[in-house]
């Protein structure tokens, strides 16, 4: 990835410079979120006020289990009433299949009264809804408002990225500033039916966001990295607290807010993907049917060790996590980064999520393919830098079984 000199950056004609490699020079561009509501019953109390107009029609996007195993979607439809409810698509599957996105987009595009999408669920309904916003705009020119009600800790509500799965099972992702959600509702009532293992695994995914922010080349020191450090501290505290009492609505709400802190301040103008653990997550998730929370459980600890050995700056950034998880720094940044990795592994084990690719049913014969997908390089790489990257990632992949 190529980064420009922070003191010689083109604005691209829109008054926005790229994020800087210097922590004390640059520009921070916040996301386009209009409002974030949090706490019990905020959906019931405030959702209608977020519709664009008195005549707005909203289309609900969700998964089958929420629609059939809980009353949440029915209650939401009743809250909207026929005045505001245009329809519900309740068949979104894991990893956001493109065929389902296309089906729902076709329904929305044909109804010009729809000006709002409400996504309810985890990352898959949310990403699907974002892709629908994009495709409807491309097809009709209409830019829909997107209200989301998360039920997991995946943090999809924090980014302008929208994942989808192609027919061949390979994950694709679309980025656009218009894909930021307009409103977020962190209502613990909607998270109570979420299976605890799903909640906790997506919590590790949020931890992955916060940790990878620390060594991202152009993430801003404030607010991105500093707020993400506090997210790490809170997730280490809150995930075990949730295990102890998974129905405590205050704990659930606090988890939601920690997730927003993990990624919600990343900024629009930061360049490149989040990091290697996330790249491995995309390489493992859709192709092998592994939830992204579990891919983070597998990839994050070894990636932290690898990143610490890539540069002194990375090692120092990772070592700086220690005081936020109750440890003292020794002055040996690589050793301290290894301790961060060990503490992450300990947290994963403490909340009952220890796993590996053997447990997930992935054959070791897939190692080259996983490395190629994660690096987006031909086998072995071509240039010296590519070859070194390939070698380090390929060696890491071998440790995931």
Q: Which of 18-27, 38-47, 272-281 has the lowest mean pLDDT?
A: 18-27
The pLDDT, as a whole number, for residue 1 is: 26
Residue 25 lies in a domain: no
Reply yes or no: is the peptide bond before residue 214 cis, omega within 30 of 0: no
Are residues 205 and 176 both part of a single domain?
no
Residue 146 lies in a domain: yes
Single residue among 155, 186, 217 that ends a domain in this structure: 186
Whole-number average pLDDT of the chain = 91
- The domain tally of the chain equals 2
Compute the distance between CA of residue 195 and CA of residue 152 in angstroms, rounded to an integer.
9
Domain that holds residue 127: 42-186
Give Cβ neighbours of residue 334 (< 8 Å, ≥ 6 apart).
Answer: 308, 309, 315
Burial bucket for residue 260 (CB in 10 Å: 0-12, 13-18, 19+): buried
pLDDT at 2 over 70: no
Are residues 117 and 222 both part of a single domain?
no
pLDDT digits (tens, 9 = 90+) for 136-157: 999 999 999 999 999 999 999 9
191 touches 175 (CB < 8 A):
no
Are residues 216 and 273 both part of a single domain?
yes
* Tokens encoding 22: 């210097």
pLDDT digits (tens, 9 = 90+) for 285-344: 988 999 989 999 999 999 999 999 999 999 999 999 999 999 999 999 999 999 999 999
Single residue among 121, 151, 186 that ends a domain in this structure: 186
Residue 377 lies in a domain: yes
User: Which DSSP string do the residues of 184-210 spell out, in sequence order?
Assistant: EEE-HHHHTTS-HHHHHHHHHHHHHHH
Are residues 208 and 346 both part of a single domain?
yes
Are residues 255 and 176 both part of a single domain?
no
pLDDT band for position 166 (50/70/90)? confident
Q: Is the dihedral of CA 313, 316, 319, 320 positive or negative?
A: negative
Single residue among 186, 206, 236 that ends a domain in this structure: 186
pLDDT digits (tens, 9 = 90+) for 228-250: 999 999 999 999 999 999 999 99
Dihedral in degrees, nearest 10, Cα atoms 201, 204, 206, 211: -160
Whole-model pTM: value is 0.92
In the numeric block, the tokens 């656009």 are attached to 176
Are residues 295 and 165 both part of a single domain?
no
Residue 10 lies in a domain: no
Q: Provide the CATH number for the domain around residue 317.
A: 1.20.1090.10
* Tokens encoding 57: 């029609």
């Amino acid at each position: 990835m190529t980064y420009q000199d922070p003191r010689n950056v083109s604005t691209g004609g829109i008054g926005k410079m790229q994020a800087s490699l210097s922590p004390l020079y640059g520009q921070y561009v916040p996301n386009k979120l209009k409002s974030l509501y949090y706490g019990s019953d905020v959906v019931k109390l405030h959702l209608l006020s977020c519709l664009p107009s008195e005549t707005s029609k909203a289309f609900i996007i969700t998964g089958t289990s929420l629609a059939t195993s809980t009353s949440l979607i029915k209650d939401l439809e009743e809250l909207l009433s026929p005045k505001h409810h245009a329809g519900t698509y309740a068949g979104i599957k894991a990893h956001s299949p493109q065929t389902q996105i296309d089906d729902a987009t076709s329904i929305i595009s044909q109804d010009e009264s729809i000006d709002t999408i409400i996504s309810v669920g985890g990352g898959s309904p949310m990403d699907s809804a974002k892709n629908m916003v994009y495709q409807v705009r491309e097809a009709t020119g209409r830019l829909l408002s997107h209200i989301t009600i998360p039920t997991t800790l995946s943090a999809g509500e924090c980014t302008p990225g929208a994942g989808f799965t192609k027919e061949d099972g390979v994950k694709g992702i679309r980025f656009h500033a218009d894909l930021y959600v307009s409103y977020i509702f962190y209502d613990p009532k909607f998270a109570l039916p979420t299976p605890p293992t799903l909640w906790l695994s997506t919590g590790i995914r949020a931890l992955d966001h916060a940790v990878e922010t620390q060594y991202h080349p152009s993430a801003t020191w404030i607010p991105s990295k500093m707020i993400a450090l506090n997210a790490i501290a809170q997730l280490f505290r809150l995930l075990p607290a949730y295990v102890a009492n998974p129905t405590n609505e205050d704990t659930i709400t606090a988890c939601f807010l920690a997730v927003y802190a993990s990624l919600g301040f990343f900024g629009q103008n930061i360049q490149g993907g989040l990091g290697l653990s996330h790249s491995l997550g995309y390489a493992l998730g859709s192709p092998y049917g592994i939830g992204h929370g579990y891919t983070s459980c597998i990839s994050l600890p070894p990636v932290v060790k690898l990143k610490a050995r890539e540069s002194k700056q990375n090692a120092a950034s990772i070592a700086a996590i220690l005081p936020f998880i109750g440890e003292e720094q020794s002055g040996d940044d690589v050793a301290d980064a290894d301790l961060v990795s060990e503490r992450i592994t300990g947290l994963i084990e403490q909340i009952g999520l220890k796993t590996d690719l053997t447990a997930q049913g992935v054959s070791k014969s897939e190692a080259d393919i996983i490395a190629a997908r994660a690096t987006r390089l031909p086998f072995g790489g071509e240039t010296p830098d590519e070859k070194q990257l390939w070698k380090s990632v390929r060696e890491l992949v071998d440790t995931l079984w």
